[in-house]
């Protein structure tokens, strides 16, 4: 195993009282490997004598326990399924003296995403049953997509298990002061519930837009940033939406924008018309959680969310934040990314209506369409 790979997958811990160093490393799968179907999970401890000090060993995938072992060999079989998904594989060892060792690798899904110069329309589609429960495990063949009534083949596909690119934008204007403690708690809970494979940027906004925690910040740093949110200034709602969409458009894969606000826009340089135009060309679902009597016209927020395939939670008080965030997390767990190459190649600024269905009895929420403007290169 190379030094580089060892740094990627091994976690070190001070060893025995005699000064030895115990080391746990995952041998299979390799970091950044693409995994589909039956897989062998295998880990090794070094030096070899360390294995005798293990009281309990376990593998987990995406936070779910897969197997436990009390003695070597520390390996087991795991079915990665047929979906195009990335995974976080974690090995943990509890030693007889109470110490713990852990190691992690992150695999890549078989992401059927095209090169950036291919003209593809992406649609984030949330699929539930009649009772609103998430439906997972669907294949591309189970979806029907139309553009202006013309059927299109789903040529690019990511399932709910694929990593997510998220921007979470929190209003910290002065009017938020009474609710900030509840907001901080709810945001921390939301961040804690995300998967290790998710990429999160935390934004705060008042008169201006601030990056509270950059993409791929350490989870502890992300949580600390959420705990430090403090209220002051005005509200630049339109500016933060445009900035967040720009950040997300630089990334590939499944994406979503979550915005929490409590008032009308008072400080943005951008206008509502700017936001509406941008949302019509973006494939990013927008989730808006709004509270207070000063909240922007409900129709405006609902339209932004609906057109994008997201949701609007209006008139929510601080004590309802956790419930709203929970529903958004449930959406994420049933959200697929579909891509198709449009049969009408013209980029003439016209509105193209999108329709998505996923079979009998299945409820679909997806972007309503898009504005066919020249693609960014």
Whether residue 218 sits in one domain with residue 96:
no
Quick one: which of 137, 141, 175, 143 has its CA closest to 159?
137
Whether residue 52 sits in one domain with residue 138:
no
Give the number of domains in the chain.
3
Spatial CB neighbours of 368, under 8 Å, sequence gap ≥ 6: 306, 307, 309, 353, 354
116: in domain? no
Whether residue 92 sits in one domain with residue 183:
no
Lowest mean pLDDT among 34-38, 180-184, 315-319: 315-319
Whether residue 46 sits in one domain with residue 102:
yes
Whether residue 168 sits in one domain with residue 155:
no
**pLDDT of residue 5 exceeding 80:** no
CATH label of the domain that carries residue 314: 3.40.50.410
Place of tokens 């360390």: 50
Whether residue 305 sits in one domain with residue 245:
yes
218: in domain? yes
Q: What is the pLDDT of residues 248-272, one digit of tens each?
A: 988 888 999 999 887 678 889 888 8
Q: What is the pLDDT of residues 189-202, one digit of tens each?
A: 999 999 888 999 99
377: in domain? no
Contacts 24+ apart (CB under 8 A), 345-352: 345/119, 346/372, 347/372, 347/373, 347/374, 347/375, 348/372, 349/373, 351/280, 352/121, 352/147, 352/148
Whether residue 194 sits in one domain with residue 274:
yes
Whether residue 77 sits in one domain with residue 44:
yes
Whether residue 314 sits in one domain with residue 267:
yes
**SS3 call for 157:** strand
265: in domain? yes
Q: What is the pLDDT of residues 270-302, one digit of tens each?
A: 888 899 999 999 999 999 988 755 555 667 788
Whether residue 298 sits in one domain with residue 180:
yes
Q: What is the pLDDT of residues 343-366, one digit of tens each?
A: 998 889 999 999 999 999 999 999
115: in domain? no
The answer to pTM > 0.85 is no
The more confidently predicted of residues 37 and 117 is 37
Q: What is the pLDDT of residues 79-89, one digit of tens each?
A: 877 555 778 89
CB contact at 8 A, 9 and 69:
no
**Which contiguous run of DSSP H or E holds residue 303?**
helix 298-308
Place of tokens 């973006």: 282
pLDDT of residue 297: 60
Whether residue 143 sits in one domain with residue 176:
no
Whether residue 295 sits in one domain with residue 169:
yes
User: Can you give the residue range of the structural domain that contains 152?
Assistant: 121-160+336-371
């Amino acid at each position: 195993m190379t030094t580089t790979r060892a740094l990627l997958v091994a976690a070190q811990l001070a060893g025995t009282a005699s000064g030895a160093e115990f080391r746990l490393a995952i041998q299979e799968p390799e970091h950044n490997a693409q995994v589909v179907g039956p897989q062998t999970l295998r880990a090794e401890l070094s030096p070899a004598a360390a294995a005798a000090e293990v009281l309990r060993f376990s593998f987990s995938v995406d936070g779910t326990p897969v197997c436990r072992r009390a003695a070597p060999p520390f390996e087991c079989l795991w079915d990665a399924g047929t979906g195009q998904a990335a995974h976080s594989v974690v090995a943990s060892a509890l030693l007889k003296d109470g110490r713990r060792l852990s190691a992690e690798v992150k695999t890549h899904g078989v992401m059927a995403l095209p090169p950036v110069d291919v003209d593809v329309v992406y649609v984030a589609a949330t699929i539930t049953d009649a009772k609103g429960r998430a439906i997972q495990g669907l294949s591309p063949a189970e979806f029907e997509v139309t553009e202006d009534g013309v059927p299109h083949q789903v040529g690019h596909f990511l399932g709910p298990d694929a990593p997510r690119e998220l921007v979470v934008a929190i209003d910290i204007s002065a009017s938020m002061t009474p609710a900030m403690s509840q907001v901080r708690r709810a945001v921390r809970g939301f961040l804690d519930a995300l998967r290790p494979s998710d990429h999160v940027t935390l934004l705060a906004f008042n008169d201006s837009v601030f990056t509270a925690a950059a993409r791929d910040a350490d989870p502890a740093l992300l949580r600390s940033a959420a705990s430090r949110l403090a209220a002051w200034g005005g509200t630049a709602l339109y500016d933060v939406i445009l900035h967040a969409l720009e950040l997300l458009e630089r990334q590939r894969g499944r994406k979503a924008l979550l915005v929490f606000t409590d008032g009308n826009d008072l400080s943005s340089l951008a206008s509502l018309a700017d936001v509406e135009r941008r949302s019509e060309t973006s494939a990013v679902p927008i989730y808006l959680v709004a509270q207070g009597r000063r909240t922007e016209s409900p129709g405006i927020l609902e339209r932004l969310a609906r057109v994008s395939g997201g949701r609007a939670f209006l008139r929510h008080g601080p004590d309802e934040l956790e419930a709203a965030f929970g529903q958004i997390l449930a959406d994420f767990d049933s959200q697929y990314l579909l891509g198709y190459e449009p049969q009408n190649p013209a980029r003439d600024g016209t509105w193209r209506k999108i329709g998505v269905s996923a079979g009998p009895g299945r409820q679909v929420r997806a972007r309503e369409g898009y504005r066919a403007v020249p693609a960014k290169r």
